[in-house]
Amino acid sequence: MLIDSIPAKQEINRELCVQQIMSLRLPWTRNPIKINDITSSMKKCMGVQESEARCKLATAYRLTHFSGWDELIYGHLTLRVPGTQHILINPFGMHYNEITASSLVKIDLAGNIIDKGTSDFSFQRTGYVIHSAIHENRPDLNALMHIHSRAGVGVACSVDALVPMCQHSVFIEPVSYHPFRGIVTEESEKVELAENFVAPSKCLLMKNHGLLTGGATIEEAFIRMYMFQTVCQAYVDAGYTHRPVPSETILSGDVIKQSVEAAASQDGKHFGMLDFRALARQLDSAGYETGYPHP
């Protein structure tokens, strides 16, 4: 609508406007901030596994930004450092499009900083409380994503419980729910959060708040968030935030079972890996140098 409103006679200005609008979310720029900024001396100190984990998580932060799911400096993505009980989290104060592999903060599950990273920022306590509660109680989830997307918040404020009503719903079931108790800062809230998000669920609708997903890998957590966000957008687009989903639209248990099995036969045990690799390649092609370990 905005583009169509530009007079045709102003063709040069129209083309410029189109370019400016498109550049808001497309991952290319004249001077992209390189994602993999880990030097050889850093890599020697932290090891190959942590180095790769940092590159993967920083890549996920950039992809979250270019997907339009970030909100200023808020929200969190975390990844367990392989073979440890330490997690990597964003420096609170950096925009998602600034985060690099070396800037990520490494903390333990008690909230102690193990490695502050290369930025001047610390981590946000809210992110620590939410993510440590789940990491402590869900050893199957090495990666977590929590966002405040517009569609996600809209659904979190208006829908009591999601029903499977589109193909994307297949990849988020079963969904768990957690009530809003105010901004999360107290460790006492960990108990209820852990109780409300148990296996096999990997998607949590945080009422009046936002969306959270988990996965064995950051690739899985990211693609489940893509599916979760798409379902929420479908709810908004179809008007199901203020009226119930028609019964004839709800997918049957047999359809869900068949769809899960069909998807598994294509993606194997590594859910989201192919999708994430393709997205990481787009960033690499645009000059972001993700450091993502492409096979």
Nearest residue to 157 (alpha-carbon basis) of 238, 241, 224? 241
Q: Is-above-0.85 flag for pTM?
A: yes
Helices (H), the chain: 11-22, 40-46, 48-66, 125-137, 150-158, 189-196, 218-238, 253-267, 273-285
Say what the pLDDT of residue 294 is.
Answer: 81
- What is the structure's pLDDT at 28? 54
Q: What is the pLDDT of residue 193?
A: 93
- pLDDT value at position 188? 84
The pLDDT assigned to 186 comes to: 82
Q: What is the pLDDT of residue 268?
A: 60
Domains and CATH numbers, the chain: 31-285 (3.40.225.10)
Tell me, what's the pLDDT at 29? 62
Alpha-carbon distance 53 to 73, whole Å?
A: 21
Phi first, then psi: what are they for 68, rounded to 5°? 85, 20
- Report residue 51 as tokens: 């180095």
Give the residue carrying structure tokens 């450091």: 291
Q: What is the pLDDT along the chain (295 residues), one digit of tens a residue?
A: 333 443 444 444 444 433 433 344 555 566 889 999 999 999 999 999 999 999 999 999 999 999 999 999 999 999 999 999 999 999 999 999 999 999 999 999 999 999 999 999 999 999 999 999 999 999 999 999 999 999 999 999 999 999 999 999 999 999 999 999 888 878 888 999 999 999 999 999 999 999 999 999 999 999 999 999 999 999 999 999 989 999 999 988 899 888 888 877 666 668 899 999 999 999 999 999 999 988 7
Centroid of chain to Cα 87: 15
Q: Is 87 helix (H, G, I), strand (E, B) or coil?
A: strand
What integer pLDDT is reported at residue 89 of this predicted model?
Answer: 97
The pLDDT of residue 39: 95
Q: Which two tokens stand for residue 257?
A: 């079972």
pLDDT at 2: 37
Dist CA 38 CA 16 (whole Å): 36
